[in-house]
Amino acid sequence: MSEQMSLAGRHFHKPLRRSLLLAVAALSVYTVLGLPSVTAAADTPTAVELMQQAHDGRAEWIRFPGFTAHLKCTSGTETVEADVTITADGRTTLNLPEGEQFQWVRRAIRSLVNHRIASSPAITTVEFAEEQATTAQGRLLRSTATGDQRKWRVKGDVMTEVHGASAKDRFMISVADVFRTPEGKHLPKDFVVTTWNVPENTIKSARQVHVEWLRVEKELDLPARYLAVTTRPDGSLTAQQIEFSQHKTGSAAGK
């Protein structure tokens, strides 16, 4: 009886062993030829899914209460102090001196605020710009919209590059690092903005930016320091910095 059961068991497992051997052989062929496995292909996100991941990974100011802060702004050897008020809908009031010397402060703060309260959905008119060309910075995507020359590179939930162009110049934003919030979302930390002249294709400037953030409330991080160093082809360099202090939000800011 036991001998019959043993024979039956060996007979029953023959198909299973055959299937297992075939599976191992197939996997070996995929490995030797460098072909992607079925599982790997199924797990690879599409271009649209990658763009959605990058959009969803951003830290946004949800139910933003507005805030005020004191600023110490330095450009080269010149320093001024000012106060800024950001309303709940993103409007900015700054009491800066007249003139162009410190107008970069307005542009920098406007960019920081607009990127945090932006509520537009992820761009869906995208495709891969390169076939299976994944770099240390991720996959390159391009717009499929008519007349839109923009490109983006995405790695995980971070947009590591942004490419844009106009009739006079083109630019690339290259992200080196991000600041992670306690919730796992990301804020800009270290990136470079490079601008080229068109059609000469010569570099106009390279602006290296570093941003630090301060947690002031649950799920709300505000800028604490903004540093930008701009270099130009003639060798000139400009260092600009904004230091934020005395942050007050919502009703505490008098809103």
Count CB atoms within 10 A of the CB of residue 250. Answer: 15
Q: What is the pLDDT of residue 110?
A: 95
| pLDDT at residue 206 greater than cutoff 50 | yes
Angle at 37 between CA 35 and CA 42, to 5 degrees: 125
Altogether, the residues listed in the chain come to a count of 255
CB-based contacts of 8: which residues, under 8 Å, 6+ apart?
Answer: none
* CA triple 180-184-189, angle to 5 deg: 20
Predicted confidence (pLDDT) per residue in 135-194, tens digit: 899 999 999 999 999 999 999 999 999 999 988 899 999 999 999 999 999 999 999 999
Determine the pLDDT at residue 199: 87
Ordered by start, the domain boundaries in the chain are 2-43, 47-253
For residue 215, list its beta bridge partners: 221
Cα–Cα separations (whole angstroms), residue 166 to 44, 149, 163, 193, 199: 33, 9, 11, 15, 10
**pLDDT of 52 strictly over 70:** yes
Looking at residues 91-105, what average pLDDT do you find? 90
Q: How many other CB atoms sit within 10 Å of the CB of residue 71?
A: 22
Predicted TM-score of the model (pTM):
0.80
Q: Which residues are CB-neighbours of 207 under 8 A, at least 6 positions away?
A: 192, 193, 194, 195, 228, 229, 230
**Range with the largest mean pLDDT of 75-79, 196-200, 223-227, 247-251:** 223-227
Region of 219 (left: φ > 0; alpha: ψ -120 to 50; beta: rest) is: left
